[in-house]
């Protein structure tokens, strides 16, 4: 597998496993619904930070094959994030809003029953 192939594999793990799991763990104890916690992981911070850290690494001696591999991972990460997150934002947020609305209706109907 070449550098580009390794980058795609690495990025897949970062996008679909590591970042969502990290967001899930970091919100333990918070007052967030599970759906909200997964959205944090999916729409987490990316892009500018990746370029900053890549530049920092190059400025502090990263070079040769490892530097090229990390650069490919970074570039592919940004491109995939723009495509995946850009195309999934509207459908996911519409679904999330419907979910939240249905939960609010259930809470209101339960509150009305309790007041009767």
Q: Spell out the per-residue pLDDT of the chain, length 116, in tens.
A: 565 566 566 667 766 777 788 888 888 998 888 888 888 887 766 667 788 888 999 999 999 999 998 888 888 878 877 888 888 888 988 998 998 888 887 776 766 665 55
- Domain coverage including residue 26: 3-110
Model confidence, pTM? 0.54
For the four alpha carbons of 34, 24, 10 and 55, in that order, the dihedral sign comes to positive
Give yes or no for a contact between 109 and 44, defined as CB atoms under 8 angstroms apart.
no
Q: Which residue has the tokens 């490892």?
A: 66
For residue 88 the two structure tokens come to 């999934």
Could you give the angle at the alpha carbon of 27 between the alpha carbons of 26 and 31, nearest 5°?
165
Q: Identify whether 16 is part of a domain.
A: yes
CA distance 80 to 18: 15
The number of domains in the chain is 1
CA distance 76 to 34: 29
Q: Identify whether 58 is part of a domain.
A: yes
Q: Identify whether 52 is part of a domain.
A: yes
């Amino acid at each position: 597998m070449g550098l580009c192939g390794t980058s795609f594999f690495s990025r897949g793990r970062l996008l679909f496993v590591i970042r969502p799991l990290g967001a899930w763990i970091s919100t333990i104890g918070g007052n967030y619904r599970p759906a909200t916690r997964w959205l944090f992981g999916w729409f987490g911070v990316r892009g500018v930070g990746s370029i900053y850290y890549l530049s920092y690494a190059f400025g502090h001696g990263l070079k040769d094959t490892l530097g090229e591999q990390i650069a490919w991972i970074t570039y592919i990460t940004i491109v995939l994030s723009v495509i995946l997150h850009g195309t999934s934002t509207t459908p996911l947020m519409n679904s999330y809003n419907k979910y939240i609305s249905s939960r609010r209706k259930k809470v209101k109907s339960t509150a009305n029953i309790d007041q009767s």
